[in-house]
Amino acid sequence: MRSGLAWAAVAVAVLALALAPLGLGRYDVYILTLWLVTAVAALGVNLIVGYAGQETLAQAAFLGIGAYTSALLAKAGVPFGLAFFAAGGISFAIGLAIGFPALRVQKHYLAFVTLAFSVFVWLVIRNEEWLTGGVMGLKDIERPSLFGASLRPHRLFFWFVLAIAAALTFAMWWLVRSPWGRAFTALRENPVRAESLGVNVRRYTLLAFAIGSAYGGFAGALYAPLVEFIDPAPFALGPSLLFLLMVVVGGSGSFAGPFVGAAVAVLLPEWLRFAESYYLLIYAALVILMMAFCPTGLVGLAGRLWSLRRRPARMAEDEGARALGEAKP
Amino acid sequence: MSAVLEVRGIEKQFGGLRAVDGVSFDVRQGEIVGLIGPNGSGKSTLFNCILGQFEPTAGEVMLDGCRVTGLRPSQLNRLGVGRTFQLLQVFPRLTVRENLILAGQEHQGSMLGRLFGARDAGLSAEAERTIEFFRLAHLADARAGGLSYGQQKLLDVAMAFMAGPRLVLLDEPAGGVNLTMLADLRERLETVNRERGATFVVIEHNMEFVMALCSRILVLAEGRIIAEGKPHEVRRNPKVIEAYLGH
């Protein structure tokens, strides 16, 4: 019954998203697409940080690896489908390698290792001009076509991204509900006990990093054709920190968290446009307040408000039932 | 009967401290062996050396005659060795049932099979039996973190049995458990031993519990085995009395 309701809610949400561009302008559709792409990358961070209890400050680097891989392959005439999986595959392999330090160091030490990797990738993108175009970036990245029809129109491209994001979201949902997801949670809660129960902690740690990073790569492969021009800036350390923040703000370890966090990160700058340069100040203040009063993120906050709203109702029902009981002869 | 576990000259050095100093013993199929000794005598360190948590400085561990020294804990577990830790170790945010399924899932099929297969890894029925056996039925869907200390301890022990191990090493199963539950725990362990032929090594400070449960006792002091025998023999051994009471 409850899972039936949940599925219905998901179907309604996807349908509403699919219909949304019909009533929106070009720029709004762009923002909505950017939100989906950002959420895919944040889903990966949530797997690594929220479920498996590791640290990563390198998701923007993986977004960059995916974006440059797909853009360069597209320019070489490789079809988008192949470029997309190449972007994910390369990120998976590099993510696996990034996981190895996690077998030796933990918490903030691990964060520093991924931070160093993030800076390294950014420097490569900026300095290897023969490959990446350096600070000039890569221009005129073509949007893919499907069955011979170009996805250049913004609405068509949005639906394309929506379909891929939905598939990736379903895959992530399947993953975290599978025995693998249980093993990832065990990793977060007590790796020593998990190991003693036959859980191969090394393998699962590496897999969490590899899969989470692959989501960064997939998001990058969608990001490049969305913006049609890439340069090193969005793949620097700052945006990597922002990805971690999205997961924390949305609700680390909750499945919907990355979507909420990505919405805040993408939409808030739009809403706070009037505040101009004060935008970051306001954003920072909101994050500090939330961390102080609701460390479980916005999803956790929503859950708390929901139970607050329901409790008085249930109490009233109980009162009513008691009154009825007393009224019986 | 043949030895399930053979420990040969295990040593563990921590810097200048020799925590375990050449310990050898055998555990035969179906035995319940107690490992006792004063605090700091090296009991838990010995367990950790046997179970792959620590790499021993010297010595060998054999399981069914095969050398298993240096294997990781997860590999040993998949060979049929279960354990509990001295401090309570359950997964607080998972339910009792989820804790048990987790404890068995890595023994089912392949990695990919687990990813694409059933969510419960086909273990719901076994988890149900274990829950019944350890009398946790009314708590099956409660989060482990919300259980009382004794109930969590029971779950901790139950998890060690989920994968049907042949050998289980329990580190202070009775610590902090109330008297009623203690009798219950002993009776459950005896039943598993009788019905499934599971072999145990138990570290315990509760003398009454360990003397009643075990068929043979090893006494460790300052990293060495100083006495071995039936419970009533060990209890009267002057060396043991001296080790416990001091000089």
Q: Give the per-residue pLDDT at A314.
A: 53
Q: Choose among A190, A193, A198: nearest Cβ to B106.
A: A198
For range B67-77, the mean pLDDT? 94
B97 touches chain A (CB under 8 A): no
Q: Give the per-residue pLDDT at A219.
A: 98
As beta bridge partners, residue B30 has none
What is the spatial distance between Cα B20 and Cα B59, in angstroms, rounded to a whole number?
11
Cα A201 to Cα A53, A91, A95: the distances in Å are 12, 21, 16
Question: Minimal Cα–Cα distance from A317 to chain B, Å?
Answer: 25
Predicted complex: ipTM over 0.90? yes
User: Does residue B7 contact residue B61 with C-beta atoms inside 8 Å?
Assistant: yes
Least confident of A138-152, A161-175, A268-282, B57-71: A268-282
Q: Which of B173, B168, B139, B142 is nearest to B156 (CA)?
A: B173
Chain B residues near residue A203 by CB distance under 8 angstroms:
111
| pLDDT per residue as tens digits for the range A221-250 | 999 999 999 999 999 999 999 999 999 999
Question: Minimal Cα–Cα distance from B123 to chain A, Å?
Answer: 11
For range B68-92, the mean pLDDT? 93
Beta strands in B38-136 (DSSP E): 58-63, 66-67, 81-83
Number of alpha carbons in the 13 Å side-chain half-sphere of residue B9: 4
**What is the residue type of A126?**
R
Mean pLDDT over each residue of chain A, to the nearest integer: 90
Structure tokens at B79: 């060979």
A208: Cα separation from own chain's centroid: 14
For range A67-79, the mean pLDDT? 95
Q: Give the per-residue pLDDT at A325.
A: 41
pTM confidence score: 0.91
For range B84-111, the mean pLDDT? 93
What is the spatial distance between Cα B68 and Cα B57, in angstroms, rounded to a whole number?
15
Chain B residues near residue A179 by CB distance under 8 angstroms:
101-102, 105, 108, 114-115, 117, 119, 121
Please check the confidence at residue B92 and state whether its pLDDT lies above 50: yes
Structure tokens at B46: 């010995």
Chain A residues near residue B102 by CB distance under 8 angstroms:
179, 182-183, 186, 194, 197, 199
What is the spatial distance between Cα A45 and Cα A29, in angstroms, rounded to a whole number?
25
What is the spatial distance between Cα B36 and Cα B227, in angstroms, rounded to a whole number?
10
Compute, in degrees rounded to 10, the torsion defined by CA atoms B47, B48, B49, B52: 120
Question: Minimal Cα–Cα distance from B198 to chain A, Å?
Answer: 17
User: Does residue B1 contact residue B29 with C-beta atoms inside 8 Å?
Assistant: yes
What is the spatial distance between Cα A14 and Cα A55, in angstroms, rounded to a whole number?
30
Q: Are strands B58-63 and B66-67 parallel, antiparallel or unpaired?
A: antiparallel
Per-residue three-class SS string for chain A: CHHHHHHHHHHHHHHHHHHHHHHCCHHHHHHHHHHHHHHHHHHHHHHHHHHCCCCCCCHHHHHHHHHHHHHHHHHCCCCHHHHHHHHHHHHHHHHHHHHHHHCCCCHHHHHHHHHHHHHHHHHHHHHCHHHHCHHHCECCCCCCEECCEECCCHHHHHHHHHHHHHHHHHHHHHHHHCHHHHHHHHHHHCHHHHHHCCCCHHHHHHHHHHHHHHHHHHHHHHHHHHHCCECCHHHCHHHHHHHHHHHHHHCCCCCCHHHHHHHHHHHHHHHHHHHHHHHHHHHHHHHHHHHHHCCCHHHHHHHHHHHHHHHHHHHHHHHHHHHHHHHCC
Q: Give the per-residue pLDDT at B203.
A: 96
| pLDDT per residue as tens digits for the range A199-228 | 999 999 999 999 999 999 999 999 999 999
User: A328 falls in which pLDDT band (50, 70, 90)?
Assistant: very low
Please check the confidence at residue A315 and state whether its pLDDT lies above 60: no
B230 touches chain A (CB under 8 A): no
User: Does residue A189 contact residue B93 with C-beta atoms inside 8 Å?
Assistant: yes
Number of alpha carbons in the 13 Å side-chain half-sphere of residue A121: 30
User: Does residue A52 contact residue A208 with C-beta atoms inside 8 Å?
Assistant: yes
A182 touches chain B (CB under 8 A): yes
For range B210-219, the mean pLDDT? 94
What is the spatial distance between Cα A58 and Cα A60, in angstroms, rounded to a whole number?
6
| CA angle A36–A39–A41, rounded 5-degree value | 115
Percent of chain A with pLDDT over 90: 70
Q: Give the per-residue pLDDT at A324.
A: 43
Number of Cβ within a 10 Å radius of residue B141: 9
Q: Give the per-residue pLDDT at A149.
A: 81
More confident residue, A288 or B9: B9
Q: Give the per-residue pLDDT at A221.
A: 98
What is the spatial distance between Cα A245 and Cα A250, in angstroms, rounded to a whole number?
8
Structure tokens at A76: 């070489």
As beta bridge partners, residue B17 has B14
Phi, psi of B117, deg, nearest 5: -85, -160
| CA angle A180–A183–A185, rounded 5-degree value | 115
Task: Mutation target for A interface from B48, B78, B105, B152: give the one with most A CBs within 10 A.
Answer: B105
User: Tokens 């009991």 correspond to what residue?
Assistant: B43
Please check the confidence at residue B133 and state whether its pLDDT lies above 60: yes
User: Does residue A296 contact residue A251 with C-beta atoms inside 8 Å?
Assistant: yes
Orientation of helix A59-75 relative to helix A107-127, angle to 10°: 30
Percent of chain A with pLDDT over 70: 94
Q: Contact A182/B73, CB-based, under 8 Å?
A: no
User: Tokens 């029971």 correspond to what residue?
Assistant: B154
Structure tokens at B30: 């179906």
Task: Mutation target for B interface from A170, A193, A252, A296: give the one with most B CBs within 10 A.
Answer: A193
